[in-house]
Structure 1
Amino acid sequence: MSLLPLEANPDLLHLLGVPKKWSIVDVYGLDEDALAYIPKPVLALILLCPGTDQFLQHAEQQIEKLKEEGQVLDSDLFFMKQCVTNTCGTVALIHSVANNADKVGLEDGPFKKLLNDIKDLTPEEKGEKLFKSEHEAFNLLSTHQELALEGQTEVNPNDQAKNHFFALVEKAGHLYELNGSKEFPINHGSTTPESFLEDAAKVCREFIARDAEDVNFTVLALAAAEN
């Protein structure tokens, strides 16, 4: 199955049941001055990376290293696999929301219920259930397609997006990279809710530095809505 590409759409954020006091905002820079302009608090960063050879090679090396060395993974961390082509923006948004459900005050509804129902499943099963849910009030596949069509021209659903979204979140004192195309979450070390933005920005800068000649990077934040 292949869908139209969808960015981490703020309209989808609220359809998932996230109150309007939260929003997806653009991050215009990763230095201290630029980060200061982002509305606080910031609960997640979403990085769009070009799917270059450098990106893929680093991902493979990273996974192999962690298989050998192991890492700390919090038992309450929500991680799902991307099981449908061109849905990485949607998956990144779900990772951002699901791991901050209590902080955002996720509203009661079909998405919150679905998250609770699948919390003990494997990452693969979570991905399948989320995209195959046919709840009468919430169908992620159809919602994704409707939002992807808004403003899109000459988009072929059979063309796989070359760029890739993933989320960075804080959970139980650790900074996690949640990429639905990887085998498992990546622990990037200790952090706190207070230092999360700076620590996550550092991870973003490292990704950009590995592919410094490419300009196709974008950073978004799940943050307090601007007044």
Structure 2
Amino acid sequence: MEDKAAPVKERISWIPLELNPDVWNKLIHENGVDKTWAFNDIYGFDPESLGLIPQPVSAIIFVYPTMTETDLKFRKQEEQRILKEGQFLGPNVMHFKQTIYNACGMMALIHLLANNRALLTGPGVFREIVEQADGMTVDQRIKLLENNKRLAYVHEIAGKDGQTNAPAPEAEVDVHYVCFTDTDDHLYELDGDKPFPINHGLCTDLVKDTARVIRQIMERDPNEKNFSAMALSRLG
């Protein structure tokens, strides 16, 4: 009897989001996020530049070159270390695994909102996802995002709303989005390409503690220059 190969799952691909505060603010404010909070560019990670960031800050979105030889090596070592030594994961930290190609910007945003639920003051797709994801397994959360047509729609609108021409969903993009936020008094790096959240220790100052980790990432690849970040800050 001839063996039948299992069907190959078709890859879902989305337009990459542009790191543009105007685009992201429109995206969140039209979909139930508290309008007293907004994204602002971060112009550097030195003390003077960090001092320009409006406070308070609930999270930082960081964009950096990924899949470099150094990055791949570090990711493998980090995962092996955590699997061997373990790490503290607070009861309220929520993590999603990314399977949608070029959706790392949206994954960073979902991680931000899932771990800062107080920002979800109105109805919308983000509140629905976060509430449904409670108690779900990794695989269930993957299906939740892959099958959410409303999320795909708002992402497509935002993906076409930047200052530059939107690349194709299948385009090769050499940067990656991650979220840093304070959950349960610890600084977490939330990355859909990693198998679990990364606990960077107790968080006493979100901006300064995140900048410390970001500088370490940048120092690992000193020849790379394509680093950017935004902070979600409360207005006024």
Q: Say whether the fold is shared (TM-score over 0.5).
A: yes
Match of 1:159 in 2: 171
User: Which of residues 173, 180, 183 is equivalent to 2:192?
Assistant: 180
Would you say 1:141 and 2:152 are equivalent positions?
yes
Question: Matches of 1:113 and 1:159 in 2, distance apart?
Answer: 29
The alpha carbon displacement at 1:16 in A equals 3.2
Contact in 2 for aligned 1:83/1:128 (Cα 8 Å): no
Alpha-carbon distance in 1 for matches of 2:157, 2:139: 24
**Residue pair 2:96, 2:138 contacting (<8 A) in 1 also:** yes
1:96–1:222 Cα contact (<8 Å) kept: no
Question: Which residue in 2 is equivalent to 1:171?
Answer: 183
Q: State which of 82, 86, 89 in structure 1 corresponds to 2:105.
A: 89
Looking at structure 1, the residues matched to 18 and 98 of structure 2 have their Cα atoms a distance apart, in angstroms, of 14
Contact 1:4–1:157 (8 Å) recurs in 2:
yes
| Structure 1 unmatched ranges of 5 or more | none
User: Is 1:6–2:17 an aligned residue pair?
Assistant: yes
Equivalents in 2 of 1:60, 1:187: separation in Å? 16
Equivalent residue in structure 2 for 1:120, among 135, 144, 153: 135
Larger Rg, first or second structure (1 or 2) = 2
Q: Number of matched residues?
A: 219
Distance (Å, rounded) in 1 between the aligned partners of 2:133 and 2:218: 34
- Measure the CA separation in 2 of the matches of 1:7 and 1:182: 22
Contact map agreement 1:86 1:161 (CA 8 A) in 2: yes
Tell me the distance in 2 between the aligned counterparts of 1:169 and 1:186: 11
User: Could you list the per-position Cα deviations for residues 125-183 of structure 1 after superposition, in whole angstroms to 9, with x for gaps in the alignment?
Assistant: 2232034224xxxx111111122122453622222321100001111111110000011
Verify: 1:56 aligned to 2:77, yes or no: no
Name the aligned partner's letter for residue 228 of structure 2. Answer: T
- Could you say what secondary structure the match of 2:170 adopts? coil
Partner residue of 2:230? 220
Aligned to 1:79: 95
Matches within 5 A, 1:32-71: 32-51=47-66, 52-71=68-87
Normalised by the length of structure 2, the TM-score is: 0.87
Q: For each residue in 1:33-81, what CA deviation from the matched residue of structure 2 results, as whole angstroms up to 9, or x when unmatched?
A: 2111111111111110101221121111101110000000112111101
Unmatched 5+ stretches in structure 2: 1-11
Question: C-alpha distance in 2, partners of 1:72/1:199?
Answer: 17
Within 2, Cα distance between the matches of 1:105 and 1:85?
A: 26
TM-score with structure 1 setting the length: 0.90
SS of residue paired to 1:207: helix
Moved more, 155-164 or 197-206: 155-164
- 1:105 Cα deviation from its structure 2 partner: 4.9
Contact 2:145 2:151 in 1 (8 A): yes
Distance in structure 2 (CA, Å) of the matches to 1:180 and 1:63: 14
Q: CA deviation at 1:113?
A: 3.0
| Alpha-carbon distance change, 167 to 110 in structure 1, aligned in 2, over 3 angstroms | closer
8 Å contact 1:80–1:127 — kept in the other structure?
yes
SS in 1 for 2:231: strand
CA 1:37/1:200 → structure 2, altered by over 3 Å: closer, same or farther? same
Q: Percent identity?
A: 34
In structure 1, distance between residues paired with 2:111 and 2:174: 20
Q: CA deviation at 1:84?
A: 0.3
